[in-house]
Chain A
Amino acid sequence: MSEFRLPPYARAMGMEIDHIEDGVPIIGMDFADRTQGRPGFLHGGAIGGLLEMAAHAALRAELDRQGNESRMKPINITIDYLRGGVQERTYARGEVLRAGRRVANVRVEAWQGDRAKLVASSWMNFLLAPPNEA
């Protein structure tokens, strides 16, 4: 089993596994200058990076449950930005809608203080590659 570990980029951005919810890691990221876009707001790319990390984490957790050691290769991501991310901690959680033999489809959402008020909603697809392939 390959436990999900946040890569250097995520750690540099201040992302961490905030807690586990129903077996799914919730990724948290504090507001800081390194995440700021327009003055006082989160950068769209920082939100995108957080969403992707939550998608990776959720999919890894699901594959681990299945005993599937496939590597996950991002195919694409579509992000809807719903409201500006303010100077607060941001959370993201992925939901694996399907993890098939070759492709996995993951829905990801990000929010801040109020979970009902999403900052962004996104959809990410992954190619599942055999673990031994270079």
Chain B
Amino acid sequence: MTETSETRELPFKLPGNIQFDPERGARMFTRHGHTGFLGMEYVTHGEDWMELALPWREDLVGVEETGVLASGPIISLLDNATSMAVWTKLGTFSPQVTLDLRIDYMRAAAPGKTVIARAECYQVRRSMAFVRGVAHDGDPDDPVAHTAGIFMMLGSQEWTRA
């Protein structure tokens, strides 16, 4: 983390890397823990991007009177989509943690509608991966939220240590 040179080009090796199949990986990750609880689903992916969906659910509502989805689940959706975009670009499952995430809320998601997040990893370095993404509820040109973030790449042992 104290390195100042981040110019090394891909491909590079981190210890313990394993192949990341974007579709299988996304389907697996969205079954467990927080993502499983929220009911996230894999939609599609490209070379350096991932698309995930979050179907509307009554217990994820943030404003009871209107039925608008809370923004917390949208943070989670964008966090996961951006994180998986990094693995998709790398082609390997490289341990990483979120360093920072910024989310701009354009408008509230329409009640009852599934929210789709499309995220891309536009640059990856040895220690950091740079991501951005958009969440919408049907029309990508009328987004609900935009995000930009940075992930820290870790050694495989660091991932499961505090």
Residues of chain A whose beta carbon lies under 8 Å from any beta carbon of chain B = 7-13, 33-41, 43-46, 48-50, 52-53, 73-81, 83-84, 86
Given known pairs A8-B58, A10-B70, the reply for A36 and B34 (CB within 8 Å) is yes
Contacts of B105 on A, CB cut-off 8 Å?
73-76
Given contacts A43-B35, A45-B76, A53-B72, 5 further A-B contacts (CB under 8 A): A7-B63, A35-B34, A38-B159, A52-B75, A74-B71
Majority secondary structure of chain A interface residues (helix, strand, loop or mixed):
mixed
Give the complex CA separation of A119 and B59 in angstroms. 26
Is B103 positioned at the interface, with any CB of A under 8 Å from its CB?
yes
For residue A63, give the distance in angstroms from its CB to the closest CB of chain B: 16
Give the complex CA separation of A44 and B32 in angstroms. 14
Check if B77 sits within 8 Å of A38, measured CB to CB: no
Check if B61 sits within 8 Å of A9, measured CB to CB: yes
Is B12 positioned at the interface, with any CB of A under 8 Å from its CB?
no
Check if B100 sits within 8 Å of A81, measured CB to CB: yes
Residues of chain B whose beta carbon lies under 8 Å from any beta carbon of chain A = 32-38, 58-64, 69-73, 75-80, 95, 97-105, 108, 159-162
Contacts of B97 on A, CB cut-off 8 Å?
38, 44, 81, 84
From A40, A48, A79, B160 is in contact (CB under 8 Å) with A40
Q: Which residue of A lies closest to B95 (CB)?
A: A38
Give the complex CA separation of A106 and B10 in angstroms. 40
Contacts of B37 on A, CB cut-off 8 Å?
33-34
From B75, B79, B162, A83 is in contact (CB under 8 Å) with B162
